């Protein structure tokens, strides 16, 4: 039985590419996303066409028990989750405080922080019982600095980052690798950046900065680093690393 790589947030960007990469590396990729069943099935078929194993599930992470039941079912029906990738985003664009409703603020937390807590609560005990496992978390720049307009996003992602640290502190010594991967730049991803910008602006950005100039982070390249981190020997683990295009300014430079 193949080890399982479960991806929470497996859209057409980083999550889907990470699933593919682990499938190429011999994992059964279990892909979970909120919507677009067609896109999900296409992803599963792509992996299977390459000779890999994959399953896809639609799942609303904000819904009670959705994450927990999926993890239960995967462990029972597919196999032990060896690598768990938490890749849910919660970017809602820049909004003034006055335009950030309580509901939007809470939803940011539900998706970005609380969903990771639920995810970890369901998976870590199983990994602990097995004595090994890997939890890879995707974080945006907002996890390390709060820009104007990012009230909901920054608060939620700052919480996510600290949770990664407390999970690592408890579970690292038990043989479970927790890594926080900071995506510090624009990703060439139709499901997130594409939706934020709209189709025309997105294609223009891809044309000018991205495909010709490597100025957008390419999801399939990100996936290589996720795969490397998951393969690190336990004598030599990375907890946090950043990723951006060569032409992007790191968050700390003006």
User: How many positions of this chain bind a second copy (CB under 8 A)?
Assistant: 82
**CB-based contacts of 195: which residues, under 8 Å, 6+ apart?**
none
Which residue's CB is nearer to a second copy, number 35 or number 213? 213
Cα dihedral sign, 227-232-237-243: negative
Query: Under the criterion CB under 8 A, does residue 80 sit at the interface with a second copy?
Result: no
Q: Would you give the binding string for a second copy spanning residues 114-143, x where CB under 8 A is met?
A: x--xx-xx--xx----------------xx
- Interacting positions 150-209 with a second copy (CB under 8 A): 150-151, 154-173, 175, 177, 188
Provide the β-strand partners of residue 180. Answer: 137, 240
- Binding to a second copy (CB under 8 A) within 26-55 occurs at none
- Is there a contact between 127 and 133 (Cβ–Cβ < 8 Å)? yes
Q: Work out how close the CB of 214 gets to a second copy at its nearest, in angstroms, rounded to a whole number.
A: 4
- Interface with a second copy includes 239 (CB under 8 A)? yes
Residue with tokens 């939803």: 107
Q: Does 86 bind a second copy (CB under 8 A)?
A: no
With CB under 8 A as the contact rule, the residue among 55, 91, 113, 192 that binds a second copy is 113
- The nearest distance, CB 164 to a second copy, in angstroms, is 7
3-state secondary structure labels for all residues of 66-98: HHHHHHHHHHHHCCCEEEEEECCCCCCCCCCHH
The answer to whether residues 214 and 9 touch, using CB atoms and an 8 Å cutoff, is no
Of the candidates 66, 31, 24, the residue with the CA atom closest to the CA atom of residue 47: 24
User: How near is the Cβ of 153 to a second copy at its closest, in Å?
Assistant: 8
Specify the residue, 48 or 106, whose C-beta has the smaller distance to a second copy: 106
CB-nearer residue toward a second copy: 75 or 242: 242
Kindly tell me which of 175 and 198 has the beta carbon lying closer to a second copy.
175
User: Residue from 30, 59, 111, 222 that binds a second copy (CB under 8 A)?
Assistant: 222
Q: Which one-letter DSSP state was computed for residue 33? A: E
Tokens 């939007």 belong to which residue?
104
Radius of gyration of the chain (CA): 17
Place of tokens 């991967």: 181
Nearer residue to a second copy within complex by CB, 48 or 220: 220
């Amino acid at each position: 039985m193949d080890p399982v790589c479960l991806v929470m947030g497996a859209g057409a960007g980083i999550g889907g590419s990470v699933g593919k990469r682990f499938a190429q590396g011999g994992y059964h990729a279990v892909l979970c996303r909120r919507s677009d069943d067609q896109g999900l099935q296409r992803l599963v078929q792509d992996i299977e066409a390459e000779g890999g194993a994959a399953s896809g599930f639609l799942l609303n992470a904000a819904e009670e028990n959705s994450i927990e039941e999926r993890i239960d079912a995967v462990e029972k029906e597919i196999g032990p989750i060896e690598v768990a990738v938490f890749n849910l985003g919660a970017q809602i664009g820049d909004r003034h405080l006055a335009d950030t409703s309580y509901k939007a603020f809470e939803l940011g937390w539900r998706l970005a922080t609380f969903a990771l807590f639920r995810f970890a609560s369901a998976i870590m005990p199983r990994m602990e019982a097995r004595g090994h496992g890997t939890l890879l978390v995707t974080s945006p720049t907002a996890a390390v600095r709060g820009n104007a307009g990012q009230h909901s996003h920054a608060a939620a992602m700052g919480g996510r980052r600290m949770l990664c640290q407390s999970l690592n502190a408890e579970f690292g010594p038990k043989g479970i690798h927790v890594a926080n991967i900071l995506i510090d730049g624009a990703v060439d991803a139709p499901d997130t950046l594409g939706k934020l910008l709209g189709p025309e602006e997105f294609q223009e950005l891809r044309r000018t900065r991205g495909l010709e100039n490597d100025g957008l982070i390419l999801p399939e390249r990100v996936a290589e680093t996720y795969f490397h981190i998951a393969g690190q020997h336990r004598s030599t683990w990375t907890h946090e690393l950043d990723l951006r295009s060569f032409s992007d300014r790191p968050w700390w430079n003006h």
